[in-house]
Structures are given as structure tokens and as C-alpha cells.
């Protein structure tokens, strides 16, 4: 049995975009044992993938905030021991950053990554034993599948399969609901708050309840303001990613800005309208087997009418 370690630490969208590569790898290596090194916040989601035997959490985001704390150094030493606890046949870093390449260097095994012309941070390629050329203009999912196939000796083919079962994970409820993901990590990706309120009024005519999840206090406040302006919306409690996955899987539809949770909806095949404002959907847009509509684009602000019409076409 071969041992394979994937390194894809963050962000949420990047982690989800790597799941089809893992699903495909298991199909080609059914007897292999797969481990995944990922930021601790995303570990609950990675654990939902049936091919994952072991999750190795890393806490670089938290460690940076407490760099001088002795407990941080103890955690870092424990993490290094966990990475080196077993020897891997292949270590595949699909993150392509210096920090992820250094993690790959800690691991015992043949280390694979993008070559200097294919990678986000060129210096990262110096740390790999085997470097692979993968076009930069491919979608992130295609790049992950291509790198993994090159490392493990097969050619990626077939439809995208995230490995997540919507029916098995969906929250059990008798009430249908839609989800609005208004929050993004970068302000330039945000759709105006007034537009979300106007869209909520349009959706109220459908008689569907709306959920407005959040992750930070600023996002919680924004969810509260939007919900207060509507009669059919509620703000759920903050939840870990595995519980959020169940909420997403049970939704009738999802409408969202360019954020990681949007890709989770695509992974489950939930009917999805993606609102792009400050990023390029051809490189990081949602992909999956369910109905998906993308409105807007980089420096293209879609109207409320555009979004509502896209949802009508899907449903």
C-alpha cells in the first residue's frame, strides 16, 4: 500500500478546489493511504472526504499572531513530529507557496510541486524533488488534477467529482431555505449591501426562507442589517465547517459572492448563482455537477435583476 501526503493548507476555496484531485487519485490508487496537511480551521471539512485517512492540522495563521508565545513553539515542534511520523511514497504540494514548500521539505518522501514557471511563488519550486509544468491559465481545479496526475503517473480525465455526498450530509429539516453568502475576504469582491436587501425582497415573493451565515463580527453585523430589512431571513449561529457543510447541502439554492463557501455549494451540486465583481471566474469560478450560473465578472457589477433572472433560469 502506498502512502501519499497532499499539502493544500488554505484558503477555503483552494481546499475545496483540491478535493476533485483527491477523488481522482483514489480512483487510480484504490489501495493507497491518503493524508492531507491543512490549516486547522479547514480540518473538519477535509475530514468529510471519504478518501482521507489522516488529517494533519497546521496553525500558521494563529502562530503568526502569537509568534513569541512559548506554547506556539511547542505546537510547532509537535506539528513537525506529526509530519515526520511516517514516511510517504509521494508528497504533493499543490499550494505552491514558500511556506507550503517548506512543509513539504519537512516530510519524508519524494516531494512534488509546480516548476518555477507554473508556481505562485517561484522560490517554492526549489524545495521539490520533482517539478512539474502545469499551465497557469487553467482553472484551479484543473491545475490541482493535472499536478496530482503528473506526480502519480496518470492522465486526469472525466467529470469533476468532489467526493462529497449531498444526501448523506444535508441538514434534516422540513422547511426549504436558500442561503445568501454576502461576505468575502476582500472588499473588492463584495456586492453592495443594498443589492442584497433588494434581492431578498425579490426572493420573498417565492415564499422561501433565507439564511445569512457569517464568520467574523463585521459579517455578523452585516447579516443582521440585511435580515432586519427582510421578513423572510434569519441569521444562524456561527458554525464549524462540518456543520456549515450540512447547512449548505440542505439548501434549495445558494446565491453568493466570490467566497470559499460558494465553492462548497458547487461541490454538493446545490443550485448556485455566483456573483463576481472583483475577480476572474474563468480561473477560480465555481465548478461542479449541479446547476450553476455566474453573473458579473472582474470590474463588472451585476444588477439585482441579473441575479434574480439567473436563479429563475436554474430553478
Report the DSSP pairing between strands 33-39 and 52-58. Answer: parallel
Which architecture characterizes domain 166-314 according to CATH? 3-Layer(aba) Sandwich (3.40)
CA 300 to chain centre: 23
Give how far Cα 130 sits from Cα of 117, 133, 141, Å.
Answer: 14, 10, 21
| pLDDT tens by residue, 78-92 | 999 999 999 999 999
Higher pLDDT, 80 or 174: 80
- pLDDT tens by residue, 114-165: 999 999 999 999 999 999 999 999 999 999 999 999 999 999 999 999 999 9
How many whole angstroms separate alpha carbon 132 and alpha carbon 119? 10
Q: Which of 298, 241, 238 is nearest to 264 (CA)?
A: 241
pLDDT band of residue 297 (cuts 50, 70, 90) is confident
Using a pLDDT cut of 70, give the percent of the chain over it: 100
| pLDDT at 2 > cutoff 90 | yes
Average confidence (pLDDT) over 20-33 = 98
- Asked if 308 and 293 count as a contact pair (C-beta separation under 8 A), the reply is no
> Matching CATH topology for 3-152 and 166-314?
yes
The end-to-end CA distance of the chain, in Å, is: 45
Confidence of residue 94 (pLDDT cuts 50, 70, 90): very high
Strand 253-257 with 177-181, pairing? parallel
- Predicted TM-score (pTM) of the model is 0.93
- From residue 46, how far is each of 6, 93, 209, 245 by CA, in Å? 11, 16, 29, 11
Domain map (residue ranges) of the chain? 3-152, 166-314
User: Strands, DSSP E only, in 40-140?
Assistant: 52-58, 87-93, 108-114, 130-132
Question: For the domain 3-152, what is the CATH code?
Answer: 3.40.50.2000
303 pLDDT exceeds 90? yes
Amino acid at each position: 500500500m502506498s502512502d501519499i501526503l497532499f499539502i493544500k493548507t488554505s484558503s477555503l476555496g483552494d481546499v475545496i478546489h483540491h478535493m476533485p484531485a483527491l477523488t481522482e487519485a483514489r480512483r487510480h490508487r484504490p489501495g493507497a493511504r491518503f493524508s492531507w496537511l491543512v490549516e486547522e480551521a479547514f480540518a473538519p471539512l477535509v475530514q468529510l472526504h471519504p478518501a482521507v485517512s489522516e488529517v494533519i492540522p497546521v496553525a500558521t495563521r494563529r502562530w503568526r499572531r502569537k509568534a513569541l508565545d512559548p506554547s506556539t513553539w511547542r505546537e510547532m515542534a509537535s506539528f513537525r513530529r506529526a509530519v515526520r511520523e511516517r514516511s510517504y511514497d509521494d508528497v504533493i504540494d499543490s499550494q505552491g507557496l514558500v511556506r507550503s514548500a517548506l512543509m513539504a521539505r519537512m516530510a519524508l518522501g519524494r516531494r512534488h510541486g509546480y516548476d518555477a514557471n507554473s508556481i505562485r511563488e517561484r522560490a517554492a519550486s526549489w524545495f521539490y524533488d520533482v517539478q512539474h509544468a502545469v499551465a497557469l491559465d487553467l482553472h484551479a481545479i484543473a491545475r490541482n488534477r493535472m499536478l496530482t496526475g503528473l506526480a502519480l503517473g496518470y492522465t486526469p480525465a472525466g467529470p469533476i467529482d468532489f467526493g462529497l455526498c449531498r444526501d448523506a450530509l444535508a441538514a434534516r429539516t422540513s422547511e426549504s431555505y436558500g442561503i445568501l453568502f454576502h461576505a468575502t475576504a476582500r472588499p473588492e469582491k463584495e456586492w453592495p449591501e443594498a443589492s442584497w436587501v433588494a434581492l431578498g425582497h425579490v426572493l420573498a415573493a417565492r415564499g422561501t426562507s433565507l439564511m445569512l451565515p457569517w464568520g467574523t463580527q463585521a459579517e455578523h453585523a452585516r447579516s443582521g442589517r440585511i435580515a432586519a430589512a427582510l421578513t423572510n431571513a434569519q441569521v444562524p449561529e456561527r458554525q464549524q465547517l462540518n456543520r456549515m457543510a450540512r447547512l449548505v447541502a440542505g439548501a434549495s439554492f445558494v446565491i453568493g459572492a466570490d467566497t470559499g463557501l460558494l465553492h462548497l455549494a458547487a461541490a454538493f451540486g446545490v443550485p448556485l448563482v455566483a456573483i463576481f465583481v472583483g475577480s476572474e471566474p474563468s480561473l477560480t469560478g465555481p465548478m461542479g455537477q449541479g446547476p450553476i450560473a455566474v453573473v458579473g465578472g472582474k470590474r463588472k457589477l451585476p444588477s439585482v435583476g441579473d441575479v434574480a433572472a439567473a436563479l429563475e433560469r436554474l430553478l
